[in-house]
Structure 1
Amino acid sequence: MDKVEIRKGGADDVPVILGMLDSAVVWLNARGITDQWGTEPWSARPRAVRRVRATVTDGMPWIAEVDGVPAGSLTLTPYPGPDVAPAGEPELYVRFLVTDARFHGRGVGSALLAHAVGEARRQGVPLLRVDCFAGSGGRLVDYYARNGFTPTETYEVDGWKGQVLAMRV
């Protein structure tokens, strides 16, 4: 596992985050996975760009770096995205967790999730939640479970199946 340094991000990091999301689409598509994030780059979809920019601006973005190179990102918000109901108690929500394709399998995502747990504890927020694509044999659901999350409810938007997961911190 590489040494992953995590720094606070900001609005200036939106192009970097979009680049990571674009690389993840290419990585997924190369493995035949097109139903998770489609085939078009995030940066080429105006609605997706607006959503990332708004989330990063309103939330707490974190950038993982390996040897000074941006390798992954997530943004924490006190509420979920538009397709998931709020928890009804204080929470931090993991949004746009992504690892740049060049850094897959090097512990970047797990380091970011561990940082999110630490941030929830630092803020005294007892609940950390995330949602993910539930297709492709549940690969992402299993990934989050290996990182300490428990599946809670499922949801569907226009045929896209999602899974919400939670962790008490």
Structure 2
Amino acid sequence: MRIRPGDGSDLDSIMALGDEAVAWMVSRGNTEQWGTLPWSANPARLERMRGILAEGDLWVAELDGEPVGVLIVSDKPDPHIPPAGEPEVYVRLLLTSRRHAGKKIGSQLLDKAVSVARERGVSLVRVDCYRGEDGELVGYYERNGYVKSETFMVKEWPGQVLTRRI
């Protein structure tokens, strides 16, 4: 697997990975995290991704030239998350292809976030995620070295912020 810098020309790949993730979650009965509508059919989601891309740095994981994961990091969190009060690298987006599950794509992209933090001389990496009833996503980040910090709500959407010190 290769991880390369990305740019706005990768937006279609981000949206396709989002479509794949939504379909997978819906097939498992998870309609609360991102709803049921494919990302590519949701104009608001497209605008949100454009905004996140404009504010952050994109990294694209490829297998044989095919995008199979994306990471967007920024020096600030989403607007609904309080700033850390110190320099940080914030994982604004992490998406991986379910067709390539088990290949540690997400873990390698999270390692990339840590390496970006080290390059910037920053000792804090944070991420937020959906805090559903099963806690599966929170557990994923914990297995990758993150520790739960604060929880939050965006309307009816329960979220969890996790931190990793390096």
Question: Fold conserved (TM > 0.5)?
Answer: yes
Indicate the larger mover: 79-88 or 138-147: 79-88
Pick aligned residue for 2:43 from 37, 41, 46:
46
Counterparts of 2:85 and 2:45, CA distance in 1: 27
Higher RCO (Cα < 8 Å, 6 or more apart): 1
Gaps of 5+ in 1: none
Match of 1:164 in 2: 161
| Unaligned residue ranges in structure 2 (runs of 5+) | none
Alpha-carbon shift at residue 109 of structure 1 (Å): 0.4
Conservation of the 8 A alpha-carbon contact between 1:10 and 1:57: no
Between 43-52 and 123-132, report the one with greater CA deviation: 43-52
Q: CA deviation digits over 1:94-137, x for unaligned, max 9?
A: 01200122122221100100111111101111110000000041
Aligned partner letter, 1:16: S
Alignment of 1:80 with 2:77, yes or no, is yes
For the pair 1:56 / 2:56, whether they are aligned, the reply is no
Once the two structures are TM-superposed, the CA of residue 90 in structure 1 deviates from its matched residue by: 0.5
Match of 2:15 in 1: 18
Following superposition, the deviation at residue 41 of structure 1 comes to 1.0
Give percent identity, aligned residues only: 48
Aligned pairs, number: 166
Per the alignment, residue 97 of structure 2 pairs with 100
* Distance in 2 (alpha carbons) for counterparts of 1:152 and 1:121: 21
Q: Deviations over 1:135-164 (max 9, x none)?
A: 041101100000000000000111110000
- Residue 43 of structure 1: CA displacement? 1.7
Question: Aligned to 1:137, what secondary structure does the other structure show?
Answer: coil
RMSD: 0.9
